Structure 1
């Protein structure tokens, strides 16, 4: 877990905003689109994009969403619009689209597999929506994944919330995300909320799904980077390290480039 006394929030803030602005200018795009979930990652990302001064479109995309998530999303968007004149918002209710999709595909006797497939479908419908708006406005889709999610346990949907143009906070672990969000005055309700992917239409948290919280996962990530193995730990530490190692292994396909079958020159 990052030490707040050594975390240089202001300099990191300035670095990310400059990186976003430079990237957008070099790509000759007009602004950013960010999906707003009511969580800390999307709140931080949208605030950073807003600080560039470029038009920043915040989109809320409910699919049978828990009321608490929707309320936090609106609170953040309202606050951001008051702080930054370049921020505007849209709402795309994807619930009927999701229900139509469900009615057009077969069900499965394996309820767990079916529910996971449908959860990933929600994320991919949202990605499609973000790119629709990005295309309309000539904007970039800004990703909201943090380092633990994107490069540690792979806790994201491939071509869902993983389908983005730029990833401004993907080199920040969750504790760093919290520190930077506090520095940027993200609403208290979001800072205190349990992290959740919001893909199941209820209030289950990321910890409920993973079996470890982000502070534990950060610890495991740092230990694995040091070359530690499960034999080095016991008790809860061993349990958390095992969870992290398993997810890091099975989700490598999300973290590495798409495999390409190279054809030998003599066969072409």
Structure 2
């Protein structure tokens, strides 16, 4: 980590600064098997529009066993042409396709940290706290960044709750603070964006990754220069989440906003 001019931490993954300048774009790899996942990694490697790849392990059809997943991570990383890789196992309760018990979730993560070439690990903040803190410590000991995440697919928390959760992630040692919520109206989108901006202005010492999901929340995915968001998601091929936009289009819009703000 290095600090920007205001003392906020800038995370660097494989030479890519996160938390300074235009928001970085993440694209998810959601292949159901090894061949499909490797093909998606190749497509991400070949586009200038994407900065970071995320491997969604929970999307696999095969049994999620450590040796199989480690092999997959190695093959995917080898195809990314040097782009950073986040590994994520999203639980069913937070919008994923995985029903692993918590003990198996953390055992898989520990195995990945021991033997897989990943740059960052997405850890759900609401998992049992002792195990979350243990895996954060293991990740940092291996030089792997931690994205602490929280997803609400039913509603948008209140402004104060959003800030509280992001500050809690920071206190727990996250390298990236992540929160995604589902809006039920336009006001919910503005609530998330305003809370993100306040978090960035007053409390954040780490890069922020927040989004309002679904078609209604599209503006939040493009508003990083306004709200202080350091990262956003976009798609190469089929979207991996509701409301996700094509990476080329997102890159173009972010560039237009940046030129307007600094022109």
Give TM-score, length-normalised by structure 1: 0.30
Larger RCO, structures 1/2 (Cα 8 Å, 6+ apart) = 1
* Greater Rg over alpha carbons, structure: 1
Larger strand proportion, structure 1 or 2?
2
Give TM-score, length-normalised by structure 2: 0.30
